[in-house]
Amino acid sequence: MAGSGLQILAAYPKLGPRGQPFAWYPFQDVTPPAWARLGGWLAGARHWHFAFAWLLVLNGAVYGFYLLLSGEWRRRVFLPRRDARNALQTLAFYLRLRHEPPAQGLYNGLQRLAYSGALLLGLLAVLSGLVLYKPVQLRGLTALFGGYDTARAVHLGVLSLFVLFTLGHVLLVALHPRALVEMVTGGEKPRA
């Protein structure tokens, strides 16, 4: 989705209302590199992007129903009253500001915060994408985002946050390679 989204951005690389640049956006008129784009041209990129988008929406809906119906959300979703202190203590431990890790169950507060943040980013990506897809038909949602141009900036910002999230995970795996097996197996020892 990122590659096709960058190809769509390449068709009009300015961000801002009606061609006026957003002052905070440093990449006005900068086209994403060709190696990072998918689709070849605007229409091709849109076809790829919508195909991937509907798969994402379907997958997210099925997963959301699973979380709600199974009660699994209780273990995975960040709740500030329950998890904020543990998240801060875990972060302090990771930054070597604390010598002992805080007590935790299957997931610590920082893991729940990251997990919930990724779910919220996914929801924000879908909602801002719907605004970009049908801004007139979904005028209430468009107004909620502050207009089409702001929704476009939010959509690109969500992509940037997903990239940072992914790079952070890759870095953590590189720093703690033994944890990779636990991530794949859920902490269970493989049977011999």
Q: How far apart are CA 61 and CA 176, in angstroms?
A: 32
Average pLDDT (142-147) is 96
Put simply, whether the predicted model's pTM sits higher than 0.75 gets the answer: yes
Helix, strand, coil proportions of the chain in percent (round to 5)?
Answer: 70, 0, 30
Instruction: Say if residue 183's pLDDT is above 90.
Output: no
pLDDT 10s digits, 14-38: 888 876 888 888 888 899 999 999 9
pLDDT 10s digits, 74-92: 888 898 888 999 999 999 9
Tell me if 112 sits within 8 A of 83, measured CB to CB. yes
Q: How far is CA 150 from the centre of its chain?
A: 18
Q: How far apart are CA 98 and CA 181, in angstroms?
A: 26
> Worst-scoring range by mean pLDDT, 60-64, 71-75, 166-170, 185-189?
185-189
